[in-house]
Amino acid sequence: MKLWIQFCAVALLFFTACKEVKTAEKEAVKAPTAYQSFGDVITDENVLSSEAVLAQMKILQVGDTLPVKFTATIKEVCTSKGCWMKLPLNEAEETMVRFKDYGFFMPLDSEGKEVIVEGLAFVKQTSVAELQHYAKDAGKSTQEIANIKVPETTFAFEANGVLLKTK
């Protein structure tokens, strides 16, 4: 009889513990993602991957624009004001993101954080002077800046709104 009572007590503890774990898992799944918002108010719905956006950007010509919303992890941010950021589109390609009308900036410590950006993707010819300016803002050495001698054709993005993931 004593063994039966011990067995029931252990079984009750086990089932109670399992129920608490399952409840905690459900709460974790239901918890909304928290974002800090910059620029226009945007949502985290209908967001494309950076790879999907890259596939669409590859068919653009200089001067074309593509309205799009996608997610990526910030690779680099302007260390001076937060006035631009670089987002990877895949392992080899990235896009320079600037903000509509210079109307908002990203936190200087946002490198490595996940964002959702909404705005216009386009292909841009970037001058040597502008590339050198970006390199200076990124804290590159004088030698690295001096080595920039050729303009680049790059994928660019003008964000009208950004969500910075906080959780």
Q: What percent of the chain has pLDDT over 90?
A: 67
Q: 149 vs 27, 62, 135, CA distance in Å?
A: 54, 21, 12
Is 45 found in the same domain as 18?
no
Is 44 found in the same domain as 23?
no
Is 122 found in the same domain as 71?
yes
The confidence band for 29, taking pLDDT boundaries of 50, 70 and 90, is low
**Which residue range forms the structural domain that includes residue 64?**
35-165
Q: What is the pLDDT of residues 74-132, one digit of tens each?
A: 999 999 999 999 999 999 999 999 999 999 999 999 999 999 999 999 998 889 999 99
State yes or no: pLDDT of 153 exceeds 90: no
The confidence band for 21, taking pLDDT boundaries of 50, 70 and 90, is very low
Please report the pLDDT score of residue 92 as a whole number: 92
Angstrom distance (rounded) from CA 115 to CA 70: 8
Is 103 found in the same domain as 56?
yes
Q: Structural domain tally of the chain?
A: 2
CATH number of residue 125's parent domain: 2.40.50
Average pLDDT, the chain: 85
Please report the pLDDT score of residue 97 as a whole number: 96
Is 22 found in the same domain as 83?
no
The two structure tokens encoding residue 56: 């669409």
Please report the pLDDT score of residue 7 as a whole number: 46
Residues 6+ apart with CB under 8 A from 64: 122, 123
Pairing of strands 114-126, 65-73: antiparallel
Is 8 found in the same domain as 76?
no
DSSP-assigned states of every residue in 21-88: HHHHHHHHHHSPPPEEEEES---SSSPEEHHHHHHHHTT--BT-EEEEEEEEE--EE-SSSS-EEEEE
Is 40 found in the same domain as 77?
yes
Is 78 found in the same domain as 145?
yes
Please report the pLDDT score of residue 154 as a whole number: 83
Q: What percent of the chain has pLDDT over 70?
A: 81
Is 132 found in the same domain as 119?
yes
Please report the pLDDT score of residue 27 as a whole number: 52
